[in-house]
């Protein structure tokens, strides 16, 4: 028969083991899981590499995108890379010393999740659709000035890319 001291030792060791596991789990849990637990929401399910992915539930809500404060020009390049800038003529209250408040998010296929403030320019070519968007944002009075600034900045980006390719 197990004596009383052995039983106390075994129970204490089990308690310490369980407490340690709980502490480890708490500190290694993702921040999102902490928030979910605090708000009473179900926590996200982690899948192993060997498991088949479970598709998310269909909903009518679009993917949530944090809205940008400023209009942004995003230049998509041939190699899948891109560059962006904030045109001052489309954003009169913008200054380089302020917080940019610009976020460009991509879906799983590499497409931009657009909040309506991102103008996508493919391969340094400003399309007619881009020009119409610029005209809507800037208005007739400032359209020429805005288009000129954007054309100059796109040309600078193209030259920078060509210079970086030639220096490799």
- What digits encode the pLDDT tens for the residues 117-127? 889 999 899 99
Residue 45 lies in a domain: no
Residue 39 pLDDT more than 80? no
Residue 46 lies in a domain: no
Same structural domain for residues 11 and 89?
no
Whether 72 contacts 104, CB under 8 Å: yes
Please state the domain count of the chain. 2
pTM (2 decimals)? 0.56
Same structural domain for residues 116 and 160?
yes
- What average pLDDT does the segment 126-143 reach? 93
In terms of residue numbers, what domain contains 77? 72-166
Residue 8 lies in a domain: yes
Same structural domain for residues 10 and 92?
no
Whether 41 contacts 91, CB under 8 Å: no
Whether 117 contacts 84, CB under 8 Å: no
Dihedral sign from CA coordinates of 5, 9, 10, 12:
positive
Residue 53 lies in a domain: no
Residue 54 lies in a domain: no
């Amino acid at each position: 028969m197990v004596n009383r001291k052995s039983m106390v030792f075994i129970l204490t060791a089990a308690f310490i083991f369980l407490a340690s596991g709980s502490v480890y789990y708490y500190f290694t849990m993702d921040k999102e899981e902490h928030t979910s637990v605090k708000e009473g929401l179900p926590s996200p399910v982690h899948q192993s590499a060997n498991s088949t992915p479970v598709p998310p539930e269909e909903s009518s809500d679009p993917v949530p995108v944090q809205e940008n404060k400023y209009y942004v020009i995003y230049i998509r390049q041939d190699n899948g890379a891109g560059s962006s800038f904030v045109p001052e003529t489309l954003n009169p209250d913008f200054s380089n010393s302020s917080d940019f408040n610009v976020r460009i998010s991509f879906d799983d296929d590499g497409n931009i999740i657009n909040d309506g403030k991102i103008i996508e320019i493919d391969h340094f070519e400003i399309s007619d659709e881009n020009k119409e968007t610029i005209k809507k944002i800037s208005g007739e009075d400032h359209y020429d000035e805005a288009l000129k600034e954007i054309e100059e900045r796109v040309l600078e980006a193209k030259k920078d890319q060509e210079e970086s390719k030639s220096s490799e």
